[in-house]
Amino acid sequence: MASCVARRALAVGSRWWSRSLTAARGSRPLCAAGGAGAFPPVATATSRRHLSSRNRPEGKVLETVGVFEVPKQNGKYETGQLFLHSVFGYRGVVLFPWQARLYDRDVASATPEKAENPAGHGSKEVKGKTHTYYQVLIDARDCPHISQRSQTEAVTFLANHDDSRALYAIPGLDYVSHEDILPYTSTDQVPIQHELFERFLLYDQTKAPPFVARETLRAWQEKNHPWLELSDVHRETTENIRVTVIPFYMGMREAQNSHVYWWRYCIRLENLDSDVVQLRERHWRIFSLSGTLETVRGRGVVGREPVLSKEQPAFQYSSHVSLQASSGHMWGTFRFERPDGSHFDVRIPPFSLESNKDEKTPPSGLHW
């Protein structure tokens, strides 16, 4: 009987945990709880914290779902690559890669900080570095178990009609950075349960990975490229809380004889320390090219006040903003609370809101 050394889930009280992955040296079985309602497989690289799942489902046993591969240090993963998300633990499959400009303020060049710019906030000189991200599908079996840590409807579109406020989401789509992918292989011809898996991918045992893009995936990518493309990623760490922001332009709509421009932004909060903290408030400042500066304060984010701990170190969500101008800037702070009741502010890296100048047609969502 094979021993799941690379990723063996062990019961400790009512919690499950995973042994760290030893850089995937050699092929080791990947195990998960079987049956309906099983929690997602959880794995970690040696440089990451151990992750925990939710309570073990009663009567569930471990079953092998695949074999780990050696993570790629160079190059990129191809369409059809199966993986585990190293932070959120879900099973997924790569649809296609994006080349993004990563503006990491933690490694900004050592030039002096600039004075306040016209948008009203101080700015370091930060040079973008090319980094690979992936458009992926999330296994629907894992969505209920990561919903408290990561929204599984992070990809949204404007509806194709006159109501400029109408948005719709595609469940189970995500953007994943190269270092968050733990690749594995499976003998299952449909290893990921998602309504788009078989519409987008075709099993071909002669290929590696054995799932190739159908014409429907290529057509969908080409048609929706302006609304899906990930171009800029912004990252900054304060008090061991790292904030990553990815903005997306969604399109323009006409409302009451004026143009309204829409953006989606995805935010990941990650606790790099072992101390437990809880997000309590958000404070945004939104500058529009039209000259307006809006301040937004509120409790939590998307109706939640997530706790970031050693066991559950990250939280990811998406939200939207609209301007009556074709560009603008956003920045701000998140206020966190420590167990002793003290508070501290975490900076949200400033990011620009830019529209696509060559916009011709509205996003078509799932139509191809």
> What is the structure's pLDDT at 357?
58
Which amino acid type is present at position 201? L
> Residue with structure tokens 């914290």?
49
Sort strands 91-104 and 232-238 into parallel, antiparallel or unpaired. Answer: parallel
Sort strands 181-185 and 62-68 into parallel, antiparallel or unpaired. Answer: antiparallel
The residue segments making up the domain with residue 222 are 67-107+128-354
When pLDDT is cut at 50, 70 and 90, the band that residue 34 belongs to is very low
Nearest to 319 by CA among 343, 286, 346, 289: 286
Q: Is the dihedral of CA 345, 153, 172, 245 positive or negative?
A: negative
Sort strands 241-255 and 307-308 into parallel, antiparallel or unpaired. Answer: unpaired
Cβ–Cβ < 8 Å for 200, 172: no
Number of domains in the chain: 1
Comparison of pLDDT for 47 and 316, the residue scoring more:
316
Average pLDDT in the chain: 80
Cβ–Cβ < 8 Å for 95, 104: no
Asked, for residue 175, whether it belongs to a domain, the answer is yes
Secondary structure (3-state) at 16: strand
> What is the structure's pLDDT at 16?
30
- Give the C-alpha separation, 279 to 313, whole Å: 12
Question: What is the CATH number for 186?
Answer: 2.60.40.1470
- For the ranges 158-172, 249-263, 307-321, 331-345, the lowest mean pLDDT is seen at 158-172
- Render 125-182 in DSSP notation, one character per residue: ----EEEEEEEEEEPTTTHHHHTTTB-SB-EEEE-SSS-TT-EEEETTEEEEEGGGEE
- For the ranges 50-59, 66-75, 166-175, 249-258, the lowest mean pLDDT is seen at 50-59
Q: 279-305 pLDDT, tens per residue?
A: 999 999 999 998 999 999 999 999 999
- Give the C-alpha separation, 16 to 31, whole Å: 13
Asked, for residue 350, whether it belongs to a domain, the answer is yes
> What is the structure's pLDDT at 12?
24
Percentage of the chain modeled with pLDDT above 70: 73
> What is the structure's pLDDT at 168?
77
Residues 6+ apart with CB under 8 A from 57: 33, 35, 37, 38, 39
Asked, for residue 178, whether it belongs to a domain, the answer is yes
Q: Is 178 exposed, middle or buried (0-12, 13-18, 19+ CB in 10 A)?
A: middle
- Give the C-alpha separation, 131 to 176, whole Å: 11
Comparison of pLDDT for 35 and 146, the residue scoring more:
146
Asked, for residue 9, whether it belongs to a domain, the answer is no
- For the ranges 90-99, 145-154, 158-167, 229-238, the lowest mean pLDDT is seen at 158-167
> Average of pLDDT values for 168-197?
93
When pLDDT is cut at 50, 70 and 90, the band that residue 151 belongs to is confident
Asked, for residue 94, whether it belongs to a domain, the answer is yes
- Give the C-alpha separation, 139 to 154, whole Å: 14
Instruction: Dig out the tokens for 43 from the structure.
Output: 């794995």
Q: Looking at the DSSP assignment, which residues form a beta bridge with residue 74? A: none
> What is the structure's pLDDT at 27?
59
> Residue with structure tokens 């420590």?
338
Nearest to 343 by CA among 269, 278, 298, 267: 278
Asked, for residue 93, whether it belongs to a domain, the answer is yes
Kindly list the distances between the CA atom of residue 241 and the CA atoms of 106, 270, 277, 306, 347, in Å, as whole numbers in the listed order. Answer: 12, 6, 9, 13, 9
When pLDDT is cut at 50, 70 and 90, the band that residue 24 belongs to is very low
Residues 6+ apart with CB under 8 A from 353: 247, 249, 261, 263, 321, 323, 327, 328, 329, 330
Asked, for residue 147, whether it belongs to a domain, the answer is yes
Percentage of the chain modeled with pLDDT above 90: 58
- Give the C-alpha separation, 310 to 315, whole Å: 12
Instruction: Dig out the tokens for 157 from the structure.
Output: 């579109």
Residue 340: CB atoms within 10 A of its CB come to 5
> What is the structure's pLDDT at 21?
36
Above 70 in pLDDT, residue 247? yes
Comparison of pLDDT for 367 and 243, the residue scoring more:
243
Q: 91-132 pLDDT, tens per residue?
A: 999 999 999 999 999 986 444 444 444 444 445 568 889 999
Asked, for residue 217, whether it belongs to a domain, the answer is yes
> Average of pLDDT values for 203-214?
95
> What is the structure's pLDDT at 155?
82
Q: 157-175 pLDDT, tens per residue?
A: 786 655 545 677 888 999 9
When pLDDT is cut at 50, 70 and 90, the band that residue 153 belongs to is confident
* R_g of the chain computed on alpha carbons: 21
Residue 32: CB atoms within 10 A of its CB come to 26
> What is the structure's pLDDT at 189?
94
